[in-house]
């Protein structure tokens, strides 16, 4: 990691809910929270708490020098709404297999 850049991953003690156009896409009490310098907190949810049946894999891939290569999933009206790191870098290995959404409700 570069000087001054920091990433931490830990268990969240908050309830995380993802709703899109009134439909619940995910709900979890077992989310991980990723905190990264200069970025908003992101909640990574285990796949069993995500409505994977509603999502379609996307061809989009992005690369982060700190986390690795991300894969994306979409809804018909919301491209690349959710992403995951199938093979994350060792510093964030805990997020492997978890999914992250842009917009979440936490309580």
Per-residue pLDDT tens digits for 34-59: 999 999 999 999 999 999 999 999 99
Cβ contact 17:104 at 8 Å: yes
Quote the pLDDT of residue 2: 57
Could you count the other beta carbons within 10 Å of the beta carbon of residue 21? 8
Quote the pLDDT of residue 4: 81
Which domains occur in the chain, in start order? Answer: 7-106 (2.170.150.40)
Distance separating alpha carbons of residues 62 and 107, to the nearest angstrom: 29
- The pTM for the full model equals 0.93
Distance separating alpha carbons of residues 32 and 11, to the nearest angstrom: 4
Tokens of 27: 């709900």
Cβ contact 16:31 at 8 Å: yes
User: Residue 3 — pLDDT band, cuts 50, 70, 90?
Assistant: low
């Amino acid at each position: 990691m570069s000087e001054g850049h920091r990433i931490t991953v830990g268990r969240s003690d908050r309830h995380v809910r993802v709703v899109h156009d009134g439909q619940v896409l995910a709900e979890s009490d077992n989310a991980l929270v990723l905190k990264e310098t200069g970025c908003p907190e992101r909640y990574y949810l285990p796949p069993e708490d995500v409505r994977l049946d509603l999502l379609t894999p996307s061809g989009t891939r992005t690369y982060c020098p700190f986390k690795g290569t991300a894969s994306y999933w979409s809804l018909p009206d919301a491209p690349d709404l959710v992403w995951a790191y199938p093979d994350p870098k060792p510093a964030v290995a805990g997020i492997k297999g978890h999914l992250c959404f842009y917009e979440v409700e936490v309580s």
